[in-house]
Each structure stands twice: as structure tokens, then as C-alpha cells.
A and B are shown apart, each in its own frame.
Chain A
């Protein structure tokens, strides 16, 4: 009997661990997946190119990265009379699983395959040489070895430029003269967001004070920790900040909650996708704007280049000029008075009059 309880305890731990692996699937913020019927790949039957879209963990319905890529795909399918094929990653999957996913798409006739997220860099690098007639793209990707691939495009974003614009918005909106930044993990990528944001704020109001906090120094859990996000943001609101921008993925909902608790006159700024559209009714009024990383633009753009017979290759950076980054005006009442100022700065960046730093 005692052995049974002991064993059951371990089994429960193991089951929890397995469940824990699956748990982070929901980092999109509790949204239900769109019904299968919405899937454009089920209905598309044109004779244009066949586009493969390999999602990162979370898949379609994450209201972020993956959904944004899907939006670009939908647009491309409509415009180029294309068909498509999708594949979804599971948490903790093997490198070989990603490779297999890409190979499956290529074997099923896809001619343009997009890996959503840098985790596909290695697998695309391994698969691409076997399918020279297929064009690959990796969002945020990189080439892991010295041999350049003729048929792979690495689609990056000028996050600092988008962050610059929301930095301007924050500084303009702030009444207290202090604003905040919450990063998920203190690494080079997120530092780019911080640098642009601070630069934008200082450009608009040179004497503005920026409080900076990172949820985790290195653990990627910082992107999936709403409680940590809330604690970090609440600390900044306590120090007098009245606008807080987050670059913390799934932890962002905690930042929004902190703004809600700080009360009227306090704001939060979203990231990657237009988070005003996906936030809860309670959070919505507090979301000033979002820094948009237009994965949809990049996806669409890549599909377009393949359709046109001039496929993108090598490194491509989507910046303000290409509309690859931007800011959202969905919360009209909040942002309305600021758009002229922000758009001024936008024009200056596009013209090259302002160089946005990438390191804080």
C-alpha cells in the first residue's frame, strides 16, 4: 500500500511535468483557437504558389506572432490565388521534429516555406539544401553556418524603430515625467526594444525619467510569467511611472493588470501585435498603444517575392520604411492627440534624420 502511494506520487509528478510542458502552449493569453473552419488552407484551391507556414510553439490562435504570420498568409493566399499548408510545433520537441515538418511541406509541394521564429534557423539550414527548388524564410532567423544558402531568407525587424515611436507616445502621454519599461529577459534582443523606447522618450521630452526592469536575467521563462510581469510593472508604477511599455511576451498581460490596478491616468503599451484587440475588456481602456512587429507584412512580402519569381534571399530587415514595424492606433481616445507628433518622428526616421540606437 505504501509503495502504491509513493509510486502514485511520482506518477503525479511525472504527469504534472508532462502537463507542464503542454501548459505553456496557452501563452497567447487564454484565447480559444479559431475554429478549424476558419482555416484558409482548408478552402484555398487556387493555382498559384503553395505556401507552407511552420508555426512556433503555440500555433495558430496565440493572438501574437503565429496569428500575425497567419494574417500575412491569408492575405497572400487571397491575392496570389495560392494554396497553403500549416504545421504546428509542440513544446520541447526535438530538432528532428522541426526538420520533419519542413520536409513534409516541401514534399507536399510547397514552394515558399516560412518558419515562424528563430528556432527554425537550424532546421531550415539542414533542410534547404535538399530542396533547392523550394524557397525558405525564417522570421527573426539567422544562418547558423558559414555556407550561405541560396534559397533561404532571414526576415528580421527593426524593433528599435517601432519602440522609438511608442517611446515618443509614452513621453507625450506621461504627466508625471516618469515612464517605465519591462523586459522579459535581459538579452540583446530585448535590449533593442529598451534602447529605442528610451531614445524616443528622450527625443520627445529630454528630461523624462525611464524606469527599467527585467523579469528574468536569462531564463526564457521571463516571457511566460504574467505574475512576474505584474510585479515588475507595479514596482515602476509605485516609483511614479504612469506609462509602462513591455517587451515580455506572455508576461505582458501581468503588466496590463498592473496598469489596471494603478488606476485611471496610468497606461500600458503592448508589443508585437496590436494587443488592444486581444486584451480583456477591463484592460482595454489602459492600453495606450502597441509596438507592432509586422510578421504579417514579412510573411506576405516573402510570399509575394516568390510569386513574382524573384524570391527574397539572405538577410532582410523590415523597418519603418517598409511598414515592417509601427504602432497601433486602435485605442483612439487615448492616442488621438499624439499621432501627429509620433508620425513626425516616424517621417524623420524614415528620412534618415534620426538614427535609432540598438543598445541602451
Chain B
């Protein structure tokens, strides 16, 4: 039990160091531009107002889904940098489908989620197929597909979207299909979106898939050693395509809580950048379901709270992007450092044990 506690402590060491480091760097940057770090942190660490708490939960949900999507790829050594494009085009497709109101009520929601997953999977699948058949690096192809997705969506929106003032958006959802959510505080503080539950399902599903299923085993094996996976009978090409598509399908869900929670259409309220946040959080959380949950919560907290900065301080809210970026870089580096330190600890433990036994037998 003591050993277990120790190993948990060691596992937490890396993220803890990373967070301290990112706080330090952020403080230095703020001080360097001549603002007050004290003001900054006291604003950031103030207990958030009820409506911000709601926002934090909603943002955490979306970022978490994005992180899981990224982690599916990472766990098998695929770097799906294209979450951004996948959820953009999937969100647009789902919003268009839902707005067309082929179905009513909850069936429309369910069908739209399926559309989002299928489109996300298909878009990511392009990169998967390119990698499997032509050896094209998925990093390059997904970055390019991001640009293509944004252009395509813009084109369809401009030509077939609903124009309003200077903006265009997809058709509004029919009134029966906005799910709203659960309001923990006053009405005006907003709802925790109903589909935030998707994040929970995705997280549990990810854990079970990885640890309980044959597919998950194959996925992890492929990630740990491609050559050993091949020799064990795993078809690497098939795995690449399937896991890319799975990653894309989950990516398709990223913005769905917002769409059915309050956005009503794909337009100015579409939130960009969640895909990249997801990648960062997957790194921060070491692709572990629980780790990513804390990572998503941290990022959501920083993003949401940063809005207060424009009032209390003269620090630009963009500064939290530095905090987030440093946290990710630092966690990658410190994890490696901690791992080596841990290895040394184990070495010492082993040698102690060995001396003890030789002493006994001698």
C-alpha cells in the first residue's frame, strides 16, 4: 500500500512541477511587460462566479472530448493534429442535418450525433488511408485537411447558408431539438449543457476500450511497438485506418454539447481552437482518462477565468495561452526527468535488496 501511494505521488510529481513552472513563466512574462503579477493571479484565483462555474463545466466537457479524440491516436503512436478540421466539418454537417429537421425531437439529436461522428470519422479516415496506403505522414495530411475543412465549410456556408447581416450560419435547429441543460444556479447564469454527459460517456468508453477490449490491446500494442504488434498478428494498416477514424468520430462530437445546448446553429457561435486545446490536454494528461480530465478542467478554468482579466487588471486575457503552452511543454519535459529520477530510485532499491540477499547467503 505504501508503495502504491509512493507511485501515485511520483505520477503526480511531473504535472505538479509543470504547473509550478508555467505559473513562474507567466509571472515573469507579466512582470517583464510591466504589469502586476499579483493582480493577475489574485484575479485568476478568485472563486469564479456561478455563471463562470457553469461555463467551466461546459468548456471542460468539450475540451475533454477533444483530448480523448487526440489520445486515441496518441496511444497508438498516431499524431492526429487534424482534430480541428474534423470537428469543424463534423459540426457543420451535424448542424446542417439537424437544421434540416428530417426528424423530430430526440431522434433528430441522436441522428445528428451520428452524422457528426460519421463525418468526423470519414474526414480523419482520409488521413488514415493516405498513411496506410501511401505512407503519407498523418501529421502533414491532417494539417492540410484542417485547411481544406475550413475552406469547404466556408464555401458551403457562403453559398447555402442563412445570411443574416454580415454573417452566415446554418439553419436554426427546430425548436423541439434544442436540449438546453440543467441550471444549477439562477436561470440567467446559464445551463450545464445536457450533452456534457457525452464527455463522461466518451471518457468511460475510452478507458474500457483501452483496458478491457482486444481492440484496445491491439491499439496499445501498436503504440508501444509497431514491430511487435505486426509480429503478433495485428494488421498495422488496418489499425491505422480504424484508429484514425475512431479518433475522428470522437472529434466529431467535440462541439455537439454547445450546438444542442444553446448555439442553435453553426455560425458566429462556433468555437474554434478546441481541437488544438484537446491535443495539448492529451499531452498534459499523458493520454490517461483521469489525467486528461484534470487537464481539461485546468485549461477550461484558465480560459474562462481569463475573461475577468480585462476588468480587474491591465493584463491581456491572451496571457493564459502562454500559461497553457508552458504547462504542456513543461509536462513533457518534466515527465521525462521524473521518469529518469524514478529509474534511479528503482535502481537503488534493487541494489539495496540485492546486497541484503547476498549478505544473507554469504
Contact = CB atoms under 8 A, between A and B. Distances in A.
Q: A and B: direct contact (Cβ < 8 Å)?
A: yes
Interface of A: 4, 6-8, 10-15, 17-22, 25, 36, 59, 85-88, 90-97, 99-101, 103-104, 108, 118-119, 121-122, 126, 130, 140-145, 154, 156, 185-189, 216-221
Contacts of A142: 164-167
Interface of B: 51-52, 55, 58-59, 74, 77, 79, 81, 84, 139, 147, 150-151, 154-155, 157-158, 163-169, 172, 188, 190, 258, 262-264, 267-269, 271-274, 276-277, 279-280, 283, 303-304, 306-308, 310-311, 314, 316-318, 321, 324-325, 328-329, 332-333, 336
A92 B272 contact: yes
A122 B268 contact: yes
Nearest to A88: B310
A223 to B, nearest CB: 12
Residue among B310, B311, B314 having the largest count of chain A Cβ atoms under 10 Å: B310
Given A87-B310, A218-B154, A218-B158, A100 B51 contact: yes
Nearest to A108: B311
Contact of B303 (A7, A94, A143, A144): A94
Contacts of B273: 21, 91-92
Contact of B58 (A96, A156, A188, A218): A96
A93 B279 contact: no
B157 A94 contact: no
B332 A19 contact: no
A121 B263 contact: no
Contacts of A86: 310
B323 to A, nearest CB: 10
Contacts of B329: 11-12, 15
A20 B325 CA distance: 11
B336 A154 contact: no
24 contacts: A4-B332, A10-B74, A11-B328, A11-B332, A14-B328, A15-B328, A18-B325, A21-B276, A90-B316, A92-B271, A93-B271, A95-B263, A96-B59, A97-B303, A100-B52, A118-B167, A121-B165, A121-B268, A122-B269, A144-B164, A144-B169, A144-B267, A218-B155, A219-B147
B298 to A, nearest CB: 14
B155 A217 contact: yes
Residue among B58, B274, B307, B316 having the largest count of chain A Cβ atoms under 10 Å: B307
Nearest to B280: A14
B276 A25 contact: no
Contact of B304 (A22, A87, A97, A189): A97
Query: Lowest 6 A-B CB distances belong to which pairs?
Result: A142-B165, A218-B154, A92-B273, A17-B276, A95-B269, A87-B310
Contacts of B169: 144
Main secondary structure of the interface of B (DSSP, over half): helix
A141 B325 CA distance: 34
Contacts of A188: 158, 163, 166
B213 to A, nearest CB: 24
Nearest to A3: B336
A62 B233 CA distance: 58
A316 B79 CA distance: 49
B272 to A, nearest CB: 5
Contact of B157 (A17, A143, A156, A218): A218
Contacts of A87: 307, 310-311
Given A13-B81, A97-B55, A100-B307, A19 B271 contact: no
Nearest to A36: B314
A25 B317 CA distance: 11
A95 B328 contact: no
Contacts of B74: 10
